[in-house]
Structure formats: C-alpha cells, structure tokens
Amino acid sequence: MTTEKLPRRILLGPGPSNVDDRVYEAMSRPLMGHLDPEFLVLMDECQELLRHVFGTRNRMTIPISGTGSAGMEAAAVNVIEPGDRVVVAVAGVFGVRLAEQARRNGAEVVTVETEWGTPIDAGAVAEALRDGPTKAVAVVHAETSTGVLQPLEGIIEAAHDNGALVIVDAVTSIGGHPVDVDAREIDLCYAGTQKCLSCPPGLAPFTMNDRALEVITSRQVPVRSWYLDMSLLANYWGSDRVYHHTAPVSMIYALHEALSIIVEEGMQARAERHHRNHLAFVAGVEAMGMKMQVDDPAQRLWSLNAVVVPDGVDEAAVRGALLNGHGIEIGGGLGPLAGKIWRVGLMGASSTSNNVLLLLAALEGALKMQGHTVPMGAGVAAAVEFFVA
C-alpha cells in the first residue's frame, strides 16, 4: 500500500468531516521549532480565533494536544478531587464516557439518565443537585451517538444556583450550532477539531473561565495527570512559554487555517448553513418514507442526523454500498442503537447542498438494492423543493 493511492472520500459520518484544501496546504508548510518566535505568533492567533469560535474572552483558551476525548479528560482531571460529588447527564455514548472519566478521577458520580434519543430534563438535574454539595455538572451539548441537541439553559442555572461548575462537551456542536460560552456562562468547555471545525483529528480546543481556574488553583491534591494539568499548560501557552511538551506544529497550522475559514464565513452564516442542509436532508428522508430517530424537530442536531433504519433493511449493507459505490461514508448506531439507526454527519465542509442531494440519491439506490421500495426520486425532489423555496 502507498498513501498516494488512498481514495478521497465524501465524509458524512460522525467525524472526521471533509477538510478544505486550504487546510491540507497549511499542514504541508515547513516545520518550525515550537518555540520559534514566528510559531509563537501563530499560537497566539490560534487562541484568539478559538475565543471567537467559542464565544468567550477566557484567557485560558487553548487547543490541547490530543483528540476530543483528551479535552473531556482534561476537564475531569483538573476539576475533580477524590470524593467530589459530580452530576453527569447521560443520554448516549458520550455521556457514559463523561461519567466514566469522572469516576476514574475519584468522583462520587450521580448520573441523571433518560432514554437515548431524548434530551435530559433540566428539572431532573436540579433535583440531583439538591441531594448534596456538588463540585460540577457535566453535560454533552450535542450527543453524537443519538443526534440529540441538549438544551443547556435550565441545567446551567441549576448548577450555578447550587455552586457547581458547568462542564459542557461541545465536540459536535462547535462550528455547527451556536455554543456561546460566555453568554451562557459555561465554566469549562471542550471540543474536537474533526467535526464541525473541519480540521483533521488531533487537537481538543478547550476553554475555562476564572471561576474554574480558581477552583483548580485551590485544589488540595495536585492534578493527577501531568500532561493535562491546566496550570502547567497555562505556563506554556501564556506569556512565559515554559516548555511543557512539543506542540504538534503541523496540526496548529491546520487549526489556524480551519478557524480562519470559519471567521471568513461568519459564525451565524455557518450555523444557518448547517441548519438549512439538515432541514433539506430531513425533508428528503421523510419523503422517502423513513423516520428520524429524534421525534421533536427542535431537539435534532443539525450536524448529526440519526435516521431510523427501515424494517427488513440490512443497515451495514447499505453503508457498504454507499462507500463502495459512491465513496460516501456514513455511520452506524452505537450501544442500544446499534443496527437501528444510521448516523449522517453534515459537519463543517461536509454540510453542503450537493452532499445532501448526492446522499439522498445514493441512499435510494442502496435501499432498492436491498429490495426496499422507495418512491422514485422522492428524497431528492423533496430536498430540491426545500432548497428552492
């Protein structure tokens, strides 16, 4: 095998999403030393671009070296001390992972759960908070395993009323849905580069406010992870530039370019694009006689569309036909939803009207190959109707 022969896929799964050629070009620029004055300027600019995308003025806003899960782990390991009570909203794979990370960091974890495919009720979180002093509430904004957009408003208020920090997983929302860290008073928030930011996987944008910083600096025991210790990382990314680890230089080039593309498009225009392409895709899916996993349209993610697999259809065979016949990747279900849903990502550069039309057409063909009848051209027609309206 040679990497030269690798195919160019249309990435419509749960991540990674497609990457603009400008990002690939940025990654191929010559390496510099990670303490080179020119590189330090690029690091500063990356932080400023990330503040813009997160909607924050937090000084401590950095890309962590590692994927989205490293961002999750950083939030948990810095905030939690052994014995702390932490409330975690669990309604999918990533909520489960958050709870597991909190537990491994010694927290007494209280989960608030609901059926996968529905959001967590803020009232239930408030109730869990009333049962004892709580260090933090952790919640997934965009649950990639179910396609649910979790409302944050009541949860954040309840947490703050009870003196708890709020940790928000924005891995699949940032760059697709508004996140607005400062306006919503989110204390710690992390993301990943390979979803709606349309950059290869490898960095975890992370931000936290002074309230979170204060909690961390007044810890009784040091942060168990040396690599993810925010006070050490603050000295590396701050004005002192104390060597901590070698920043993944080429990934920083990529992130800088991907974020610049987002700023050029505009945050609001980008969110609207994600919304429109999602609505067109849903119109097509429903016209083909299929159902979305999430019933309430207001609770559906624009970036990740969970489609119920029709009875009698081999979902893996359909995914195989899309990949082999059209070079299109979509995802299957996880956990209790394995075999029951397809997960269609319309994230970042992958969220285009062309991709929506192509996928609906290709999906019709793949379903017909399974002997499943679909009204001829109905999906594409409904999406076209939506786009011209």
Ligand X SMILES: *Cc1c(COP(=O)(O)O)cnc(C)c1O
Which residues of the shown chain bind ligand X in the complex (CB under 6 A)? 15, 67-69, 72, 94, 140, 142, 144, 169, 171-172, 192, 201
CA distances, 274 to each of 86, 220, 302, 385 (Å): 33, 44, 6, 17
Report the nearest approach of ligand X to the CB of residue 14 (Å).
6
Q: How far is CA 194 from CA 8, 269, 319, in A?
A: 16, 20, 21
Among all residues, whose Cβ is closest to ligand X? 68
| Cβ distance to ligand X smaller for residue 94 or 386 | 94
Q: How far is the CB of 362 from ligand X (least distance, A)?
A: 24
Is 102 or 382 the residue whose CB approaches ligand X more closely? 102
Least Å distance, CB 233 to ligand X, is 18
Query: 265: which 2 tokens?
Result: 């498009």
Nearest approach, Cβ of residue 244 and ligand X (Å): 21
How far is the C-alpha of 373 from the C-alpha of 359, rounded, in Å? 17
Least CB distance from residue 293 to ligand X, whole Å? Answer: 16
Nearest to ligand X of 69, 250 (CB atom): 69
Which is closer to ligand X, CB of 216 or CB of 304? 304
Of 144 and 293, the one with the shorter C-beta distance to ligand X is 144
CA atoms within 13 A on the CB side of 311: 0
Give bridge partners of residue 101 from the DSSP assignment.
Answer: none
- Under DSSP, is residue 3 helix (H, G, I), strand (E, B) or coil? helix
Report the SS3 class of residue 304: strand
> What is the sign, positive or negative, of the torsion defined by CA atoms of 304, 352, 200, 171?
negative
In the sheet with 136-140, reading across from the earlier edge strand, the strands are 60-65, 203-208, 188-190, 165-169, 136-140, 85-90, 108-113
The residue type of 294 is V
Q: Of 193 and 355, which has the nearer Cβ to ligand X?
A: 193
In whole angstroms, the minimum distance from the beta carbon of 128 to ligand X comes to 21
